[in-house]
Homo-oligomer: A and B are copies of this chain.
Amino acid sequence: MVKVSVVGATGYAGAELMRLLAAHKQVSIVHAASKSYAGRKLSDVYPSFSGGDIILDDMDFKKISADSDIVFTCLPHGASSAAAPELIRCGARVIDLSGDFRYRDADVYEAWYHMPHGARELLSQSVYGMPEIYRKRIAQAGLIGNPGCYTTCAILALYPLLKEGVIDAKGIVIDAKSGVSGAGRSEKLANAFCEVDESVKAYGVGTHRHTSEIEQELSYAAGETVVLSFTPHLVPIKRGIISTIYASPKTGVTESDIRDAYAMYEDEPFVKVYDDGALPEIKHVNGSNNLGVGFVLDKRAGRLVVVSCLDNLIKGAAGQAVQNMNIMCGFDEREGLSNTGWYL
């Protein structure tokens, strides 16, 4: 049994990770640490953990690291880069769910996060935890920057198209709609039920941090600098992201060329490419680690429209973190993640 710990176990992503790890056959959870609820039972904070008498620990990074093979950090950005150095020094491999270790270039991070990076020296060893792109490097990594939710949904939809050169790298538009859990478990008025229900809003237009993360990976795919428009929206659902992506197909590109580009996912356990103009919906993937992607080539308008969906707490956070762990530990990549989605 691999010994794992979760630091920040009582946010939404942390709790989802606890839920997934509890069902994983090859790990044992040694610490679940929480700043706000240390000393209390996890089932007091989330009564859905009915079976558990898991007691939440303090954030004693030294002890947590020493006791663990793998530590998941589910902390706010900034807090992760403060915690990671000690966790790594004390021996554990770290999978970080914040934005802190997703960047190749600390300057980009600082420009978009508007704060100094707390552990620049670690960026060169951290691996961007997207198995479909970096599986081999993940296997060896000591520090994973687990990708963001919007970013996973957008990158996996676009990566093959840019890598295979079937679309222009310029002028891409990503219009994304997310459930409210993406904002975390917080008391902000903006996330109150009466403020969110029966409405939809755009936010962070042109400034959302995930833009830079998407651009980093898509530039890598394209072999040229990609600058794009990314607009997130808040919709009154708990979980799930749908991205509707608009790109210009290169001259002469056909449906078949696009399908060929997506063939790189043929053996991927969690990427489902839809056939023949069928498109994923959020309810097709919620509750699972799957990402669904489909497309329509609108010849009349000269546009390729790609739609991708994932569960922001699973493939967009905790599930992808478990997938990374499975790779790092040499487990079957599907272990603990093979369940069918909920639909309802």
A192 contacts B194, CB within 8 Å?
Answer: no
Contacts of A338 in B (CB 8 A): 23, 51
Number of interface residues of A (CB under 8 A): 84
Residue of B233, B282, B307 near A198 (CB, 8 A) is B282
Bound CA span A199–B286, Å: 9
Q: Indicate the member of A186, A281, A338, A340 with the most B CB atoms within 10 Å.
A: A340
Given known contacts A193-B191, A227-B300, A200 and B242 CB-to-CB distance under 8 angstroms:
yes
Given known contacts A199-B237, A284-B48, A206 and B305 CB-to-CB distance under 8 angstroms:
yes
Is A114 on the interface with B (CB-CB < 8 A)?
Answer: no
Q: Closest Cβ of chain B: how far from A166's Cβ, in Å?
A: 17
Bound CA span A1–B23, Å: 22
A303 contacts B229, CB within 8 Å?
Answer: yes
Given known contacts A173-B303, A298-B206, A343-B48, A194 and B185 CB-to-CB distance under 8 angstroms:
yes
Bound CA span A43–B29, Å: 35
Bound CA span A217–B186, Å: 40
**Segment touching B, from A14-22, A90-98, A120-128, A154-162:** A14-22
Contacts of A343 in B (CB 8 A): 15, 19, 46, 48
A48 contacts B342, CB within 8 Å?
Answer: yes
**Which chain B residue shows the least CB distance to A305?**
B205
B193 contacts A185, CB within 8 Å?
Answer: no
A193 contacts B305, CB within 8 Å?
Answer: no
Bound CA span A192–B344, Å: 12
**Segment touching B, from A59-67, A101-109, A138-146, A174-182:** A174-182
Q: Closest Cβ of chain B: how far from A13's Cβ, in Å?
A: 10
Bound CA span A341–B46, Å: 10
Residue of B191, B240, B285 near A192 (CB, 8 A) is B191
* Copies of this chain assembled into the complex: 4
Residue of B48, B181, B237 near A200 (CB, 8 A) is B237
Bound CA span A342–B338, Å: 16
Is A73 on the interface with B (CB-CB < 8 A)?
Answer: no
Is A272 on the interface with B (CB-CB < 8 A)?
Answer: yes
- Find residues 60-119 in chain A having any chain B CB closer than 8 Å to their own CB: none
Given known contacts A192-B192, A290-B50, A283 and B199 CB-to-CB distance under 8 angstroms:
yes
Contacts of A246 in B (CB 8 A): 173, 175, 229, 231, 246
Q: Closest Cβ of chain B: how far from A154's Cβ, in Å?
A: 14
B341 contacts A48, CB within 8 Å?
Answer: yes
B48 contacts A288, CB within 8 Å?
Answer: yes
One digit per residue, 1 when the CB lies within 8 angstroms of any chain B CB and 0 when it does not, for chain A 187-227 equals: 11101111111111111011000000000000000000001
Is A279 on the interface with B (CB-CB < 8 A)?
Answer: yes
Residue of B15, B51, B197, B244 near A202 (CB, 8 A) is B244
Chain A residues at the B interface, C-beta cutoff of 8 Å? 12, 15-16, 19, 22-23, 46-52, 171, 173, 175, 177, 179-181, 185-189, 191-203, 205-206, 227-229, 231, 233, 235-240, 242, 244, 246, 272, 277, 279-288, 290, 292, 296, 298, 300-303, 305, 307, 313, 338-344
Can you list 8 A-B pairs, Cβ within 8 angstroms, ordered by A?
A47-B280, A180-B197, A181-B344, A187-B192, A193-B193, A198-B240, A202-B307, A229-B246
